[in-house]
Structure 1
Amino acid sequence: MKLDIVMFGLSITSSWGNGHATTYRALIKALAARGHRITFLERDVPWYRDHRDLTSSPHCRIKLYDSLRDASQHYGSMVAAADVVVLGSFVPDGAALGDWITSIARGVTAFYDIDTPVTLSQLATNSSACISPSLIPRFDLYLSFTGGPILQLIKGMYGSPRARALYCAVDVDVHKRVRVPTQWTLGYIGTYSDDRQPLLEELLLEPARRLPKHDFVVVGAQYPSTLTWPENVRHIEHLPPGSHAKFYCSLRYTLNLTRQHMAAAGYSPSVRLFEAAACGVPVISDCWPGIEEFFVPEREILLASSANDVVNMLSKTGELEHRKLAAAAHERVLKNHTAEIRAAEFEGYLKEVISQPANAPSVEAV
């Protein structure tokens, strides 16, 4: 099955301040390796235009458009003829774009929600610009970064014929063990967000204050200029994806923090979990429902809910345990969480749609 796939996404050209780009790059690379032909359509907006770290790709065609009218004029025939058309979350004017896509596409249509709990929160308050409740049943597939009970909600409350988990994944060609000196005891990659900042304060900045002889690092854009960092914490505004492996491998531990909507929904792993583990770096994470579906606590990942937890982990975990954590997490990622695995899952969902009559409900329970 070799398919022509068209994807509309927030951004593949810029990883600045968003995690969508690395997700699209990894998935598309894996799909292309399986023989599919992909065109990625991205709205040309100033923020990403000014921070592009990818202008072309050997794995897909990248096309930019200025507006829905521009997209319809230049790419309407492509969308209509494609075997699969995917609309990602947080695409500007996504609801209008989705209405157009589902009106003209003759192939399989899918909504790829990289922000599922946020999307559902906005749907509940009629504030979502990327999809509407009436639009969800028109997509053959609702592919969600969040699994667990929320899939039944998407099916039962919003009428999706098929709600399926398509979690984030890691490109193991980019994220892998490299030999670099250890520079920091604990590091974190993440764009600033108001709801995540208290966790960063509790699980990294406060431990840094209590462990003044250790060095810490935070990588991410949009942190307020008024924020005061402890003296032993370095802030780096941005690292391109190609530098992530060296960064992770320069850490003794990496920290994973989850936004409130994601933590409340559970079953929402961050790609940073998989990237760090693929680089052979032990992960300390905040706690949320379903995390044990992805890593076994205490064997493949460490869970912390307070600064005391982090301080104890950094101070008292022996070298043998440290190595065992890293090895176990690395093995788990290669077995369950690579982009190649996600591409195969994506294909399986498409086959499920193709094998059944249009608009028929799936026989597989969600």
Structure 2
Amino acid sequence: MKRDLKIAFFGSSIVSAYWNGAATYYRGIVKALHKMGHEVTFYEPDIYERQKHRDIEDPEWCKVVVYPEDKVSLQALLREASEADVIIKASGVGAFDDFLEDAVVQLKKDDNLIIFWDVDAPATLDRIESDPSDPFNALVPRYDFVLTYGGGQPVIDAYERNGAKRCIPIYNALDTDTHFPVEPQKEFDGTLAFLGNRLPDREKRVEEFFIKPAQNLSEEKFLLGGSGWGDKSMPKNIKYLGHVYTKDHNAFNCTPKAVLNISRDSMAKYGFSPATRVFEAAGAGACLITDYWKGIETFFEPGKEILVANSGEEVEMILAGLTSEKAKQIGDAAYKKVLSAHTYEHRAELLESVISEKLKAETKPVE
């Protein structure tokens, strides 16, 4: 008989995607777990003005607890969370991360599971492997699981090399309730669109794969969405939109001829790390062009369901030969693939099976 679980989740934010690329991922996973009968409480700090830039109100599919940036409040919430069957600390909460990583481990009991969920595994692994004195090194072996939203075998090997009992990728996916094909909107009309916040280990790749092609294809219209690009020098044929709210992502993906995915340096290095945007775009039926990263074919068939570019020049070549009919064929194929294999229901089923198996083993009476 399936056991419905109480899950406590400490993460960056589930109600706001403002400077928070993990929001869509959290929503998809938690919503799918709720549909399966599990009860999730999501704890998030009130920082970075995220509460002023909410995409959603408190959802019916989980309890959201927003706490002030102080340890006294957090300690009270940890006591509350200690009653859960599963207690999750995500990476990149943004406030008291070191404290939380240790405090959650202290909540381990015989009948619960303690999980570290790394939404930026390449960055975490680079950090701890370059600094043996990093306090997280000693905590890794104390978690029952390390879950990651990407990385494949290279990340699994790296985490287990650093003491993880078990590392399991729970990849990004499509939230079919949120991302789907819609009618085009004139404000998003263009040849190529890119959506992503300005980050140090992404910027050079954006210059190569997006800004340089825009400079060389001056007659075409390019769209740039995301926070932090306002003072970036760019050609006049790039329309900068600023932060694009989740409710507008479908039109942003559906309207232009093609949508570009650009990996961060760390994600490209480890591979097997499809960004949330990849599945959002596929779920809207977009024709997706991506920079190359190892493991693409695990998720989509290159040339048929996704187009792959190894340089800015290849982006230009793809756009030069891309007709509207061809773009639609690729978008339709990607849409079919993501529905059949890459929804958050698929990911939550994997997560549920892993957790249930472990809890059953831990609570089995000794004969």
Fold shared, TM-score > 0.5 on shorter chain = yes
- In the alignment, which of 308, 311, 320 is matched to residue 306 of structure 1? 311
| In structure 2, distance between residues paired with 1:204 and 1:104 | 46
Q: Does 1:245 align with 2:247?
A: no
Rounded Cα–Cα distance in structure 2 between residues aligned with 1:13 and 1:179? 25
CA distance in 2, matches of 1:255, 1:74: 40
Instruction: Confirm or deny that 1:287 pairs with 2:289.
Output: no
Tell me what 1:189 maps to: 195
Q: TM-score, normalised by structure 1?
A: 0.92
> Which string of whole-angstrom CA distances, capped at 9 and with x for unpartnered residues, describes residues 26-67 of structure 1?
111111111111100012224323433334111111112233
Contact map agreement 1:192 1:221 (CA 8 A) in 2: yes
Task: Give 1:135's match in structure 2, choosing from 129, 135, 139.
Answer: 139
Distance 1:128 1:119 in 2: 14
Query: Which of 201, 223, 234 does residue 229 from structure 2 map onto?
Result: 223
Counterpart of 2:180 in structure 1 is 176
Unaligned runs of 5+ in 1: 359-366
Answer yes or no: is 1:201 the counterpart of 2:207. Answer: yes
CA distance in 2, matches of 1:100, 1:220: 34
Matched to 2:144, the amino acid is D
Q: Are residues 1:272 and 2:274 paired?
A: no
- Following the alignment from structure 1 to structure 2, what is the Cα–Cα distance between the partners of residues 356 and 109? 15
Q: Structure 1 pair 169/305, CA: closer, same or farther in 2 (3 Å)? A: same
Q: So what's the TM-score if we normalise by structure 2? A: 0.91
Q: CA deviation at 1:74?
A: 4.0
Which of 152, 155, 159 is residue 154 of structure 1 equivalent to? 159
Q: Is the 8 A contact 1:79 1:105 kept in 2?
A: no
Which of the residues 1, 5, 8 maps onto 1:6?
8
RMSD between superposed Cα atoms in Å = 1.9
The one of 56, 59, 65 aligned to 2:58: 56
Inter-CA distance 45–263: structure 2 relative to 1 (3 Å threshold):
same
Distance 2:13 2:167 in 1: 23
Residue 122 of structure 1: SS of its match in structure 2? helix
- Which one is further off, 33-42 or 348-357? 348-357
- Asked if the contact 1:42/1:65 (under 8 Å) is kept, the reply is yes
| Cα distance change of structure 1 residues 74 and 16 upon mapping to structure 2, 3 Å threshold | closer
Counterparts of 1:253 and 1:3, CA distance in 2: 41
What code does the residue aligned with 1:333 have?
Answer: V
Do 2:34 and 2:62's aligned partners in 1 also have CA atoms closer than 8 Å?
yes
Give the superposition deviation at 1:95: 2.8
The alpha-carbon distance between structure 1 residues 68 and 138, as it changes in their structure 2 partners (threshold 3 A), is farther
- Within a 5 Å distance, the mapping from 1:249-264 to structure 2 comes to 249-264=254-269
The Cα shift of 1:71 comes to: 2.0
- Whether the aligned pair in 1 keeps the contact of 2:305 and 2:334 (CA below 8 Å) is yes
Distance in 1 between the 2:357 and 2:158 partners?
20
In the aligned structure 2, how far is the partner of 1:335 from the partner of 1:233?
A: 35
Q: Superposition pairs for residues 350-361 of structure 1, below 5 Å? A: 350-357=355-362
Distance change >3 Å, CA 46–CA 18, structure 1 → 2: closer
Q: 3-state DSSP class of the match of 1:135?
A: helix
**Cα pair distance change 1:127/1:337, threshold 3 Å:** farther
Alignment partner of 1:85: what SS? Answer: strand
Deviation for aligned residue 1:200 = 1.5
Matched residue SS, 1:297: coil
Q: Does 1:165 align with 2:192?
A: no
Percent of aligned positions that are identical: 32
Residue 327 of structure 2 is aligned with which of 298, 312, 322?
A: 322
The aligned runs of 1:29-40 (5 Å cut-off) are 29-40=31-42
- CA gap of 1:270–1:251, structure 2 versus 1, over 3 A, is same
CA 278–68 in structure 1, closer or farther in 2 if over 3 Å, else same: same
2:10 counterpart letter in structure 1: F
Q: Distance in 2 between matches of 1:87 and 1:214?
A: 45
Report the 3-state secondary structure (helix = DSSP H, G, I; strand = E; otherwise coil) of the residue aligned with 1:19.
coil
Residues 205-260 of structure 1: per-residue CA shift (max 9 Å, x gap): 222222222111010101251x2221111011111111100111111100000111
The superposition leaves residues 108-134 of structure 1 with CA deviations (integer Å, 9 ceiling, x where unpaired) of 1111111000011111233998x7011
Contact in 2 for aligned 1:187/1:216 (Cα 8 Å): yes
**Is 2:72 aligned against 1:69?**
yes
Verify the 8 A CA contact 2:180 2:250 in the aligned structure 1.
yes
- Distance (Å, rounded) in 2 between the aligned partners of 1:208 and 1:45: 35
Please state whether the residue corresponding to 2:319 is helix, strand or coil: helix
Opposite residue 329 of structure 1, the aligned amino acid is A
Are the structure 2 counterparts of residues 194 and 312 from structure 1 closer, same or farther at C-alpha, using a change threshold of 3 Å?
same
Single out whichever of 112-121 and 193-202 deviates more from structure 2.
193-202
Code of the residue aligned with 2:356 in structure 1: it is K
CA distance in 2, matches of 1:300, 1:235: 28
CA distance in 2, matches of 1:257, 1:79: 37
Residue 73 of structure 2 aligns with an amino acid whose one-letter code is D
Q: For 1:210, which of 212, 216, 223 is the aligned residue?
A: 216
Mapped contact 1:10–1:42 kept (Cα < 8 A): yes
**Contact map agreement 1:176 1:280 (CA 8 A) in 2:** yes
